[in-house]
Amino acid sequence: MKRIYGIIGDPVAHSLSPVMHNAAFEKLGLDALYLAFRVSKGELKDAIRGAKSLGIAGLNVTIPLKEKALFFVNAEEEAKKIGAINTIDFGSGTPVGYNTDGIGSMQALKEVVDEIKGKKVLILGAGGAARAISFYLDAEGAKVTIANRTKERAAQLTSILHNAKSIGLGAELTKQLKDMDILINATSVGMHPNEDATLVRADLMHPDLVVFDIVYNPMETKLLKEAKKAGVKKVVDGVKMLVYQGAASFKIWTKKEPPIAEMEKAVRDVLNSIPKRKVL
């Protein structure tokens, strides 16, 4: 029988996970289908129970459900520490929760950075994605600085890390950036339809800075354009993270090696085909 997977979130219609996972199933010849299900916070518990009863094989979890979903699954220790899940596996009968955002971001970053240990990393944002990313960077021995609009949220995040400090987005950010090895945007700033927005401009960047924007729509965000202007040699876009976090979920569910190249192509094809002004 066909195995059913999906993503739950609200909104979720814009998600690129269905096209990415269905491309992977097709490439590996698996009799499986991946769908998007709109689920509100109030319906989350019933949705997870219902998915289990219906024999759904696995789910991804997206905004705004990642934190709340933790309470309705057996979460892995790592996901508990991060405080959010983005993957549920129903393979054992009991829903097991994982967070693959952190591992996805690290794989994306490691395409251009050989050694994370000792690197000075500035992360913009202190939301769910920033939590997962900083947790992994901290564990690998990076020196993490969290810069967030809401300073208290940044301070709360650094309190669960070993080697991290928090700052605001003003003058402190300008001062700190000169000395950084890696800059990661883990806020939603620059995401469609606000494509002209960026928290950091070219004059604050140096050419040896690695710039990673986890926003993937548009693929080349304003931040990445500014990086190009500053002569930055190494940039990473959000599609890389999207693909690697999805690939990690795929492997948890199917125990098979995910076809990364096909997954990435499927996502980039869709993003390249979106008319400039269409609202996603």
Residue nearest to ligand NAP (CB): 127
Residue 163: CB atoms within 10 Å: 11
**Residue 3 or residue 64: which is nearer to ligand NAP going by CB?**
64
**Residue 51 or residue 109: which is nearer to ligand NAP going by CB?**
109
Dist. CA 63–CA 41, nearest whole Å: 10
Shortest CB 118 distance to ligand NAP, Å: 25
Shortest CB 249 distance to ligand NAP, Å: 11
**Residue 3 or residue 220: which is nearer to ligand NAP going by CB?**
220
Binding residues for ligand NAP, per CB under 6 A? 63, 101, 104, 125-130, 148-150, 153, 186-189, 191, 214-216, 238, 241-242, 245
Catalytic residue (choose from 66, 119, 222, 240): 66
Dist. CA 211–CA 3, nearest whole Å: 38
Q: Going by C-beta distance under 8 Å and a sequence separation of 6 or more, which residues neighbour residue 148? A: 124, 125, 126, 130, 154, 157, 166, 168, 169, 187
Q: 225 in helix, strand or coil? A: helix
Q: Is 165 a catalytic residue?
A: no
Dist. CA 18–CA 164, nearest whole Å: 36
Shortest CB 206 distance to ligand NAP, Å: 22
Shortest CB 236 distance to ligand NAP, Å: 10
**Residue type at 135 in one-letter notation:** F
Q: Which residues are catalytic, by number?
A: 66
